[in-house]
Structure 1
Amino acid sequence: MPALLREVLGDVLRRARITQGRTLRQVSDTARVSLGYLSEVERGRKEASSELLSAICHALDVPLSQLLVDASEQLERQESTPNTTASAANIDASTKVVIPPVVAMAVA
């Protein structure tokens, strides 16, 4: 399944933080973002607004443009690598689908 942008952005942010040897708490304090929310952003679970991305980048002393370039390059690498395990519809096998029962229509 193709990577989601929020996952790629989170991965790039996490790598920048770890490269600097900083903790989630240090970055969350500087960016004025809750530690839990920053963690969710890094794991690609939350879609960060442009304001939030800007605050995190500022806290990491990484230009927002560099974050976007790095994310773009990572997406390009992932898109050029064929994923043989994804189904044609790209539906996660753990996705649950509820099909409502058929209801007979009354005919007057």
Structure 2
Amino acid sequence: MSSSSTFSLLVAERVKAARLAQGHSLSHLAKQAGLGKGSLSELEAGRRNPTLATLYSLADALGVPLSHLLPDAGSQQPRAEVASPGIRATLLHSTVTAEQIVEEVFLLTLTAGEKRFSTAHPAGTTEHLYLTSGHAEVGPTAATQTLHAGESVTFQADTEHSYEALSTTARAVLTILTPLDPSA
């Protein structure tokens, strides 16, 4: 079995388990995530490779961090890597802190010519992005910042935000902190 099909099957298991744990039907989750029921069915069966955009839509609809739908970064499986036009994200680490905050660390590769918009994450979510190479524009859509290699930005990610390479390629380490209980 190829690492791509192994990845698809592991993601399929996690998406289906999260959907069933919350008592959602396939139709309900598909509608909440803005996906076709057939597409979600194929994804849950492991017959479709999910894009980063699809997984974020599902994570947002389920109210879980993205890493909950990806294979464990510390497992013997290949690192979870998902992509959409203009962006590739590799999950490096995911844990839940003693303070009940999900901490996810991703390696991002941005390519010029595509701006990636991310919908609002759960209330209280914060992102820290450190640009390791290139130039990029990142942050809340209404107030993006231009970064150069070696610079960083921290912002509340519970509003729409975006990422865009201003150089041919830009690479970054992204840490996302999501409280498990936003009211806490």
The TM-score range, normalised by the shorter chain, is: 0.5 to 0.7
Contact 2:14 2:68 in 1 (8 A): no
Structure exhibiting the larger radius of gyration computed from Cα positions? 1
Q: With the length of structure 2 as denominator, give the TM-score of the two structures.
A: 0.37
List runs of 5+ in structure 2 lacking aligned partners: 79-184
Q: 1:20 to 1:51 in 2, by over 3 A?
A: same
Q: CA deviation at 1:35?
A: 0.2
Task: Indicate the RMSD between aligned Cα atoms, in angstroms.
Answer: 2.2
> Counterpart in 1 of 2:41?
39
* 1:22-37 superposed matches below 5 A: 22-37=24-39
The 2-side partners of 1:33 and 1:72 are apart by: 25
> Counterpart in 1 of 2:72?
72
Letter of the aligned partner of 2:58 in structure 1?
I
Give 4+ residue runs of structure 1 displaced > 4 Å after superposition: none
Higher strand share: 2
Q: CA deviation at 1:34?
A: 0.1
Deviations 1:6-62 (A, max 9, x none): 110010010000011110111000001000000100111000100011001111111
Percentage of pairs with the same residue: 32
The 2-side partners of 1:19 and 1:37 are apart by: 20
Q: With the length of structure 1 as denominator, give the TM-score of the two structures.
A: 0.62
List runs of 5+ in structure 1 lacking aligned partners: 80-108
The structure showing larger relative contact order (alpha-carbon pairs under 8 Å, at least 6 residues apart) is 1
